[in-house]
Amino acid sequence: MAFLRVGQPPLNRGVSMSAEPTRRTRSLGVLVVVCLAVLLSAVPGVASAATVTPFVDCYRANANGTITVVLGYTNPNTRNTAIPLGTRNSITPTKFQGAQPTVFKPGTQRGVFSITATQADMWANPRWVLDGNTLDQWSAGSVAQCSPSTPLPAIGNGTGLAVALLAGGAFGVFFVRRLRRRAAAAG
């Protein structure tokens, strides 16, 4: 048996060189496969089959006939999962759209947000589609009533307060400018 020395071509035993992959070609192929596997595992949601699942924590019947529903989710991934509003993260009726979170912490998160639905909303079968899972009043199963000591999360995800503060600030700037113009015109 002959051993190859560095720089010496391999023995050709009736097989063409193009049909027999070289060690360098195999190493390059393995390197490409390993790089692709690392890349796919680093991108959230691409290589992972684990999905974020919504659930109803509890509900509270209000004196005015509405129902406040407290919602949470379970994220089996080990890192935060971002699911922007859209087909993978939507709530109907659309008046509730935007109340749900778009970044999901790992583990089971209870009391993340709440919605207050009227009887008409309940007849419209409200639902939350999240990461391929649909939560509606039929799939929620038996849900317990919130105990009186249960602190309810704020309605929505805080964007309403941010919008109100922004609108108030814009109104304040407009009002102050108007007062300055009147003062300058009068003086």
Q: What pLDDT, in 10s, does the model give residues 132-171? A: 999 988 877 788 899 887 776 755 444 444 544 555 666 5
In a domain, 63, yes or no: yes
Specify burial of residue 79 (Cβ count, 10 A radius: 0-12, 13-18, 19+): exposed
In a domain, 173, yes or no: no
Q: What pLDDT, in 10s, does the model give residues 27-85? A: 555 545 444 444 444 444 444 458 999 999 999 999 999 999 999 999 999 999 999 99
The proportion of the chain whose per-residue pLDDT surpasses 70, expressed as a percent, equals: 61
Strands (E), 98-157: 103-104, 107-117, 127-130, 133-136
pTM of the model: 0.57
Could you tell me the CA-to-CA distances from 140 to 20, 37, 54, 57 in Å, in that order?
A: 59, 37, 9, 10
In 3D, which of 102, 99, 95, 127 has the Cα closest to residue 114? 99
In a domain, 132, yes or no: yes
Could you tell me the CA-to-CA distances from 103 to 82, 115, 157 in Å, in that order?
A: 4, 18, 11
CA dihedral 171, 177, 183, 185 (to 10 degrees): -120
In a domain, 26, yes or no: no
Q: What pLDDT, in 10s, does the model give residues 106-132? A: 999 999 999 999 999 988 889 999 999
Residue 20 φ/ψ, nearest 5 degrees:
-110, 110
Number of domains making up the chain:
1
In a domain, 14, yes or no: no
Q: What pLDDT, in 10s, does the model give residues 92-107? A: 999 999 999 999 999 9
pLDDT for res 126: 92
